[in-house]
Amino acid sequence: MEIPTRQEREWLTTFDVAAVYIACSSARCAVGTAQDLAQTLAARRRTLGRDAQFVRIWWIPSSTAALELAGAVALPPEATVRDAESAVRRAARRLRIPLAEHGATLARARAAIARLDCGLEVAKQRGVLSFFNGRYRFLREKAAAAGQPFQSYGTAHAQLKAELARRLAASGGGLPDLGGIVDTVLPPPTK
Protein backbone atom coordinates (compact mmCIF):
# COMPACT_ATOMS: atom_id res chain seq x y z
CA MET A 1 0.00 0.00 0.00
CA GLU A 2 1.11 3.52 -0.72
CA ILE A 3 2.65 5.41 2.20
CA PRO A 4 1.83 9.15 2.42
CA THR A 5 4.66 11.55 1.61
CA ARG A 6 5.94 13.93 4.28
CA GLN A 7 3.81 16.73 2.86
CA GLU A 8 0.67 14.55 2.80
CA ARG A 9 1.37 13.38 6.37
CA GLU A 10 1.77 16.99 7.53
CA TRP A 11 -1.54 17.91 5.91
CA LEU A 12 -3.35 15.01 7.56
CA THR A 13 -1.84 15.65 10.99
CA THR A 14 -2.79 19.34 10.76
CA PHE A 15 -6.37 18.10 11.13
CA ASP A 16 -5.49 15.35 13.69
CA VAL A 17 -6.43 12.61 11.24
CA ALA A 18 -4.93 9.21 12.05
CA ALA A 19 -4.72 5.86 10.31
CA VAL A 20 -5.97 2.51 11.55
CA TYR A 21 -4.17 -0.27 9.73
CA ILE A 22 -3.86 -3.99 9.40
CA ALA A 23 -0.25 -5.11 9.02
CA CYS A 24 0.50 -8.72 8.15
CA SER A 25 3.55 -10.88 7.79
CA SER A 26 3.85 -14.56 6.96
CA ALA A 27 3.56 -15.20 10.71
CA ARG A 28 0.51 -13.14 11.74
CA CYS A 29 -1.63 -9.98 11.43
CA ALA A 30 -1.89 -7.00 13.75
CA VAL A 31 -4.12 -3.93 13.99
CA GLY A 32 -2.76 -0.57 15.07
CA THR A 33 -2.94 3.17 14.61
CA ALA A 34 -0.44 5.74 13.38
CA GLN A 35 0.01 9.18 11.93
CA ASP A 36 3.41 8.33 10.43
CA LEU A 37 2.91 5.12 8.46
CA ALA A 38 6.51 4.87 7.21
CA GLN A 39 7.88 4.93 10.76
CA THR A 40 5.18 2.53 11.92
CA LEU A 41 5.89 0.04 9.12
CA ALA A 42 9.57 -0.03 10.12
CA ALA A 43 8.53 -0.73 13.72
CA ARG A 44 6.06 -3.42 12.65
CA ARG A 45 8.78 -5.15 10.65
CA ARG A 46 10.76 -5.44 13.87
CA THR A 47 7.79 -6.95 15.75
CA LEU A 48 5.98 -8.98 13.06
CA GLY A 49 8.86 -9.93 10.81
CA ARG A 50 10.82 -8.40 7.96
CA ASP A 51 8.12 -9.32 5.43
CA ALA A 52 5.40 -7.30 7.23
CA GLN A 53 3.28 -5.07 4.98
CA PHE A 54 0.19 -2.94 5.38
CA VAL A 55 -2.72 -4.79 3.81
CA ARG A 56 -5.55 -2.38 4.78
CA ILE A 57 -5.50 1.25 5.89
CA TRP A 58 -8.39 3.49 6.86
CA TRP A 59 -8.29 7.08 8.05
CA ILE A 60 -10.15 8.21 11.15
CA PRO A 61 -11.17 11.84 11.88
CA SER A 62 -9.23 12.05 15.16
CA SER A 63 -6.22 10.36 16.71
CA THR A 64 -8.22 9.75 19.89
CA ALA A 65 -10.92 7.87 17.98
CA ALA A 66 -8.25 5.91 16.09
CA LEU A 67 -6.67 4.80 19.37
CA GLU A 68 -10.08 3.83 20.71
CA LEU A 69 -10.86 1.82 17.59
CA ALA A 70 -7.51 0.03 17.44
CA GLY A 71 -7.79 -0.76 21.16
CA ALA A 72 -11.23 -2.27 20.66
CA VAL A 73 -9.97 -4.88 18.17
CA ALA A 74 -8.54 -8.05 19.67
CA LEU A 75 -7.17 -10.55 17.17
CA PRO A 76 -6.33 -14.17 17.93
CA PRO A 77 -2.83 -15.21 16.77
CA GLU A 78 -4.27 -17.22 13.85
CA ALA A 79 -6.39 -14.29 12.49
CA THR A 80 -6.36 -13.81 8.72
CA VAL A 81 -6.57 -10.49 6.87
CA ARG A 82 -10.28 -11.14 6.35
CA ASP A 83 -10.78 -11.78 10.08
CA ALA A 84 -8.88 -8.61 10.97
CA GLU A 85 -10.83 -6.49 8.48
CA SER A 86 -14.14 -7.83 9.77
CA ALA A 87 -13.08 -7.11 13.36
CA VAL A 88 -12.09 -3.53 12.52
CA ARG A 89 -15.32 -2.87 10.65
CA ARG A 90 -17.44 -4.38 13.46
CA ALA A 91 -15.66 -2.30 16.10
CA ALA A 92 -16.00 0.86 13.98
CA ARG A 93 -19.76 0.27 13.62
CA ARG A 94 -20.14 -0.45 17.33
CA LEU A 95 -18.17 2.68 18.31
CA ARG A 96 -19.75 4.77 15.52
CA ILE A 97 -16.36 5.73 14.13
CA PRO A 98 -16.34 6.43 10.38
CA LEU A 99 -13.70 4.71 8.25
CA ALA A 100 -12.34 6.63 5.26
CA GLU A 101 -10.62 4.54 2.61
CA HIS A 102 -6.87 5.07 2.24
CA GLY A 103 -6.77 5.82 -1.50
CA ALA A 104 -9.61 8.33 -1.37
CA THR A 105 -8.10 10.06 1.66
CA LEU A 106 -4.72 10.42 -0.04
CA ALA A 107 -6.40 11.78 -3.18
CA ARG A 108 -8.25 14.41 -1.09
CA ALA A 109 -5.00 15.29 0.71
CA ARG A 110 -3.19 15.75 -2.61
CA ALA A 111 -5.94 18.01 -3.94
CA ALA A 112 -5.86 20.03 -0.73
CA ILE A 113 -2.07 20.35 -0.91
CA ALA A 114 -2.40 21.70 -4.45
CA ARG A 115 -4.88 24.29 -3.13
CA LEU A 116 -2.48 25.06 -0.26
CA ASP A 117 0.35 25.66 -2.72
CA CYS A 118 -1.95 27.96 -4.68
CA GLY A 119 -2.93 29.73 -1.44
CA LEU A 120 0.74 30.22 -0.54
CA GLU A 121 1.34 31.73 -3.96
CA VAL A 122 -1.61 34.10 -3.48
CA ALA A 123 -0.24 35.03 -0.03
CA LYS A 124 3.14 35.72 -1.58
CA GLN A 125 1.59 37.89 -4.32
CA ARG A 126 -0.41 39.87 -1.77
CA GLY A 127 2.66 40.53 0.39
CA VAL A 128 1.49 38.36 3.28
CA LEU A 129 4.70 36.29 3.30
CA SER A 130 6.85 39.43 3.20
CA PHE A 131 4.87 40.82 6.16
CA PHE A 132 5.22 37.47 7.96
CA ASN A 133 8.99 37.43 7.42
CA GLY A 134 9.34 40.99 8.71
CA ARG A 135 7.22 40.26 11.78
CA TYR A 136 9.18 37.07 12.45
CA ARG A 137 12.53 38.87 12.18
CA PHE A 138 11.34 41.67 14.51
CA LEU A 139 9.99 39.28 17.17
CA ARG A 140 13.10 37.07 17.00
CA GLU A 141 15.40 40.08 17.49
CA LYS A 142 13.21 41.39 20.33
CA ALA A 143 13.36 37.99 22.07
CA ALA A 144 17.13 37.78 21.58
CA ALA A 145 17.61 41.27 23.05
CA ALA A 146 15.59 40.20 26.10
CA GLY A 147 17.59 36.95 26.38
CA GLN A 148 14.51 34.83 25.69
CA PRO A 149 14.25 31.87 23.32
CA PHE A 150 12.13 32.19 20.21
CA GLN A 151 10.65 29.57 17.90
CA SER A 152 12.55 28.61 14.77
CA TYR A 153 11.55 30.04 11.41
CA GLY A 154 10.63 26.53 10.25
CA THR A 155 8.21 26.13 13.15
CA ALA A 156 6.63 29.54 12.57
CA HIS A 157 6.32 28.92 8.81
CA ALA A 158 4.77 25.49 9.47
CA GLN A 159 2.23 27.20 11.75
CA LEU A 160 1.45 29.71 8.99
CA LYS A 161 0.90 26.86 6.51
CA ALA A 162 -1.30 25.02 9.03
CA GLU A 163 -3.41 28.15 9.58
CA LEU A 164 -3.69 28.66 5.82
CA ALA A 165 -4.72 24.98 5.50
CA ARG A 166 -7.46 25.47 8.11
CA ARG A 167 -8.70 28.58 6.31
CA LEU A 168 -8.66 26.78 2.96
CA ALA A 169 -10.69 23.94 4.43
CA ALA A 170 -13.18 26.41 5.90
CA SER A 171 -13.46 28.32 2.61
CA GLY A 172 -14.86 25.30 0.79
CA GLY A 173 -12.23 25.36 -1.94
CA GLY A 174 -12.34 29.09 -2.68
CA LEU A 175 -9.63 31.59 -1.86
CA PRO A 176 -9.37 31.97 1.91
CA ASP A 177 -9.55 35.24 3.78
CA LEU A 178 -5.91 36.10 4.53
CA GLY A 179 -6.75 39.03 6.80
CA GLY A 180 -5.11 38.63 10.18
CA ILE A 181 -3.42 35.35 9.30
CA VAL A 182 0.01 36.62 10.39
CA ASP A 183 -1.45 37.93 13.67
CA THR A 184 -2.85 34.45 14.34
CA VAL A 185 0.58 32.82 13.96
CA LEU A 186 2.84 35.64 15.22
CA PRO A 187 0.92 37.92 17.60
CA PRO A 188 1.55 41.64 17.09
CA PRO A 189 4.46 42.93 19.18
CA THR A 190 3.70 44.70 22.43
CA LYS A 191 5.59 47.74 23.57
Mean pLDDT, consecutive 10-residue segments, the chain of 191 residues?
91 90 93 96 94 97 96 93 96 97 94 85 87 92 93 91 82 72 86 64
Boundaries of domain holding 38 = 6-102
**Based on the domain organization, do 61 and 139 belong to the same domain?**
no
**Based on the domain organization, do 131 and 98 belong to the same domain?**
no
Whether 115 is in a domain gets the answer no
**Based on the domain organization, do 62 and 30 belong to the same domain?**
yes
How high is the pLDDT of residue 121? 87
How high is the pLDDT of residue 81? 94
Q: Which of 132, 140, 178, 180 is nearest to 158 (CA)?
A: 132
Q: Domain count for the chain, please give it.
A: 2
Query: Of 52, 68, 102, which residue sits at a domain end?
Result: 102
Query: Coil, helix or strand for 63?
Result: helix
How high is the pLDDT of residue 15? 86
How high is the pLDDT of residue 144? 94
**Based on the domain organization, do 33 and 91 belong to the same domain?**
yes
How high is the pLDDT of residue 138? 93
Whether 171 is in a domain gets the answer yes
Spatial distance between the Cα atoms of 52 and 121, rounded to a whole number of angstroms: 41
